[in-house]
Amino acid sequence: MTNKAIVSVIITVYNTSIDLVTRAIDSVLRQDFQGFEIIVIDDGSNNDTYNQLLDYIKEREDKITYIRHRNCGQSLSINRGILNSNGKYIAILDSDDEYKPNHLSNCLEQMRYADLIASTTTTIVNSEDDYFVPDRADNNKLVHVDDCILLATFFGKKEVFEMLKFTDMYAADAHFFEQASLFFRVKKVALGTYIYYRNRADSICSALKTKQVLNHV
């Protein structure tokens, strides 16, 4: 792994299909800005992700570090990835999403004006309902994804992530963003360079939406 990385991209994996994980990683490898490292944190996957990922990463070890630990959740896994990072900046990518080729370069440009950004996404849906997620303050209400703070779109200076830690809770992203605003310059920006796949029935938000419907039957 190179020690000259400017951006550390953190990807956490838990039983994600290898096709989706490699799609996510490949989207980073195709960036028009190449001064990055990728840190993949396997959060105790119990399917065959481990073996398949190792085979894939072995051919790309100049850019990728692979770490595996027992299952402890996404927030703690991201914290560990940050501890093992070398970059001046931290970026996050969900293992079932991807970046457009100009994502990192656009985010870096924003660092002239902020210490931490969250951005709007290009959202892939099956229906209009997929644009809406449970409100953090009231899970019986729904809000549009463009009005949310999404952890996976975070990009910021490493010192922000060193000072603050992610906690294991729903809307951990919004909580982190609010805490960061007390000490740093934070900004929500309309980039659309993060491709967010909301068309998966097994996502956490989809499960909460299903629970909401059942509670009203």
Q: Which two tokens mark 17?
A: 């299909």
- Residue span of the structural domain in which 99 resides: 7-125+145-200
- Residue 213: per-residue pLDDT: 39
187 in a structural domain: yes
137 in a structural domain: no
Q: Count H helices, E strands: the chain?
A: 7, 10
114 in a structural domain: yes
156 in a structural domain: yes
- Residue 83: per-residue pLDDT: 96
The CATH number covering residue 152 comes to 3.90.550.10
pTM of the shown model: 0.88
Q: What is the tens place of the pLDDT at every residue in 170-182?
A: 788 999 999 999 9
- Residue 90: per-residue pLDDT: 98
133 in a structural domain: no
- Residue 3: per-residue pLDDT: 54
Q: E-assigned strands of the chain?
A: 7-13, 36-42, 64-68, 89-92, 98-99, 116-124, 132-134, 142-144, 155-157, 186-197
134 in a structural domain: no
Q: Which of the residues in the chain have pLDDT under 50?
A: 1-2, 204-217
- Residue 202: per-residue pLDDT: 56
90 in a structural domain: yes
- Residue 199: per-residue pLDDT: 80
15 in a structural domain: yes
> Which residues have a Cβ under 8 Å from the Cβ of 141 and sit 6 or more positions away?
134, 135
Domain count, the chain: 1
CA within 13 Å, CB half, 131:
9
CA distances from 31 to 35, 72, 137, 180, 196 (A): 9, 30, 36, 27, 17
- Residue 201: per-residue pLDDT: 61
